[in-house]
Structure 1
Amino acid sequence: MSISERILSISETLSKKQNLLGKFIVDNIFEAAMMNAPQIAGRAGVSKATLTRFVHTLGFESFADFHTELRKETLRNQEMKFRQEPYLDSNNSVYQKVFDLEMELMREALENMEQEIFEKSAEMLFEADQVMLVGGPIHNFLAFYAGNFMCGFRDNVRVVSQRDMEFLSLLRNAGQKSCALVFSYPRYSQEVQTITEMLSEKKVPVIGMTDSKLSPIVPFAKYTLLTPQKYIILADASASAMALIHSLMVAMYRKHSDRIRGMLEKYEKDILTTDMFVYKDYNFVKQL
């Protein structure tokens, strides 16, 4: 029996508030599957205690058990695995709708952030003997964004887009002291999935940046960082993912500023010998 069927079968025995909560979940099951407990309770207009009693009534020992089953159930539904909004359902401007969506996902990502996992991920990215940034053919723009700036913080940073000779060479010399930051978002690139499994076989620690704990890369990741997704059209809503990458680099600098500052000073010095920027006199390192 599905969760929706369970809710409907006991609706007559539920309290008024529990029925309100049950109706919200049944009517918004895909949305609820991407929310945490405070978000579901808040959207349904009930307390977190009511939500706790509700999941116990459904036969679950905890909200975590209920939520895991809800996510699995929605992913088994082949008609709609991912959250998507109609692009013509608002009187607002297009840019207002897109900006609102990005800000909603930013708030959702922040509410679900696990600080300990974040800090351990930043530390691993700094201490590893080499870092592979895996974006595959679809999300390599995130890998390139991370690599463009991370290479100023540390050596041996490589972007991996496919299984080519360069990747196989990197993999041959990789192991437990290396690490990989893997980007995987719906509909989940098969190339990224295969690369992730190859890294796991070589015992390379993987930090998975993805939209869901049920993402196919999660079983192969040592740490998982979540930035939820919701679509209007084909394009990804990537503001929260890029903010998380930015946050990881700030965290690396904050913890190891004495070691990173020297590399940044060399970077700024090298810039003066090139004609890279129009404004050559501003030095970011001096402001740190």
Structure 2
Amino acid sequence: MSATPESPASQHIGQLIRQRFETLTPHERRVATFILDHFDDFAVYNAAELARLSGVSKATVTRLFKRLGFESFRDVREHARTLRNHGVPLVTDAAAMGQGLERFTRHFERERHNLHRCLEALGARTFDALVDALDRARRVVVIGYRNAYPVALHLRQQLIQAREGVALAPQPGQSLGEEIAALDERDLVIVMGFRRRPRHFAALIEMLAAGSAASLLIADPGAGRYREQVRWFIECPLESVSAFDSYASAMSLVNLIANALLHQRLAEGRARIQQLNELYGALDEIEPGAIMPTTTITDHKPGESS
């Protein structure tokens, strides 16, 4: 393959088509238009199917791909898989999900595999050190962009129930500089960086590496190049059975971290949750039955009777 894109910064096939559309023959334009109209699943078709659905010959399809810089349709499929690995939601296998109950089985197995990979790579010693840092830190700043933002928001919401001094950055409409300017060795920054990260992500990691605050990066395996610039790096595989990424492993990790922190500082956590419950009641913010009594939080070890 000669000019095939190989990185998220390279042009994908849709961009190449738009750039060269005016130079294509009428029949090539028909194929190109079909690809643009079906960009999310064009890779499930073979060259003959693309020709039939576009109303042109297979030779026309081949000529179009060569004009775009691809040596063969196999290279086009490989390009589509590369885009998918970088987070572009493309269907690369029409039969990937299966039918009926098989869909549930495949989905469950993929989610289980992702979580197993995440926790196996993490290890107990690293996890304990991270929880200790969360417990001791003067201030915790959680940063998340794009699809990482909901996970970062959830992590902040869980941590804030066990301890004070947890902030989410940047706030809507605000810049990040103010949130990290005064951080020092007493603080901890948690960055969520899932694929299709913003352009300034590398600069953010470099800035944190140059500072004295401890840093944790929770990201997909593609962010491994940042591993040496942070104190802790936790991989969360995002693969699913089809086009859209799954964040189940990341959300499960958030739950594990928050619960571990709560049990690390159980007395303080109980007192804080009690205080929050009283405020919920005073402000009439939550249904009465949804306010959790602190007696449900115990310090019994697994296997012990109450």
Count how many residue pairs are aligned between Structure 1 and Structure 2.
Answer: 212
Say which SS state the counterpart of residue 180 (structure 1) adopts: strand
1:241 corresponding residue in structure 2: 250
User: Rg bigger for which structure?
Assistant: 2
Say which SS state the counterpart of residue 267 (structure 2) adopts: helix
Give the root-mean-square deviation of aligned CA atoms. 2.8
Say which SS state the counterpart of residue 150 (structure 2) adopts: helix
Report matched runs for 1:141-152 at 5 Å: 141-152=150-161
Say which SS state the counterpart of residue 134 (structure 1) adopts: strand
| Aligned-partner Cα distance in 1 for 2:225–2:293 | 39
- Once the two structures are overlaid, the 10-residue window that deviates more, 188-197 or 139-148, is 188-197
1:88 to 95, 103, 106: 95
- Once the two structures are overlaid, the 10-residue window that deviates more, 238-247 or 88-97, is 88-97
Question: CA 1:171–1:90 in 2, change beyond 3 Å: closer, same or farther?
Answer: closer
| Aligned-partner Cα distance in 1 for 2:116–2:92 | 18
| Aligned-partner Cα distance in 2 for 1:132–1:116 | 23
Say which SS state the counterpart of residue 152 (structure 1) adopts: coil
1:197 to 197, 206, 210: 206
Report matched runs for 1:1-288 at 5 Å: 80=82, 82=85, 86-93=93-100, 94-161=103-170, 167-212=176-221, 215-280=224-289, 282-288=291-297
**Structure 2: which 5+ residue stretches go unaligned?**
1-77, 298-306
- TM-score, scaled relative to structure 2: 0.61
Query: Following TM superposition, by how much is the alpha carbon of 1:202 offset from its aligned partner in structure 2, in angstroms?
Result: 2.0
Are the equivalent residues in 1 in contact too, given 2:277–2:291 (CA < 8 A)? no
**Structure 1: which 5+ residue stretches go unaligned?**
1-76
Say which SS state the counterpart of residue 186 (structure 1) adopts: coil
Q: Amino acid of the residue matched to residue 98 of structure 2? A: N
| Aligned-partner Cα distance in 2 for 1:166–1:188 | 17
Question: CA 1:102–1:120 in 2, change beyond 3 Å: closer, same or farther?
Answer: same
Are the equivalent residues in 2 in contact too, given 1:106–1:240 (CA < 8 A)? yes
Are the equivalent residues in 2 in contact too, given 1:129–1:156 (CA < 8 A)? yes
Are the equivalent residues in 2 in contact too, given 1:184–1:217 (CA < 8 A)? no
Query: Following TM superposition, by how much is the alpha carbon of 1:170 offset from its aligned partner in structure 2, in angstroms?
Result: 2.2
Query: Following TM superposition, by how much is the alpha carbon of 1:87 offset from its aligned partner in structure 2, in angstroms?
Result: 5.0
Query: Following TM superposition, by how much is the alpha carbon of 1:229 offset from its aligned partner in structure 2, in angstroms?
Result: 2.5
| Aligned-partner Cα distance in 1 for 2:268–2:146 | 33
Question: CA 1:281–1:105 in 2, change beyond 3 Å: closer, same or farther?
Answer: closer
Query: Following TM superposition, by how much is the alpha carbon of 1:218 offset from its aligned partner in structure 2, in angstroms?
Result: 1.5
Question: CA 1:99–1:189 in 2, change beyond 3 Å: closer, same or farther?
Answer: farther
Q: Amino acid of the residue matched to residue 264 of structure 1? A: I
1:5 corresponding residue in structure 2: none
Query: Following TM superposition, by how much is the alpha carbon of 1:214 offset from its aligned partner in structure 2, in angstroms?
Result: 5.5
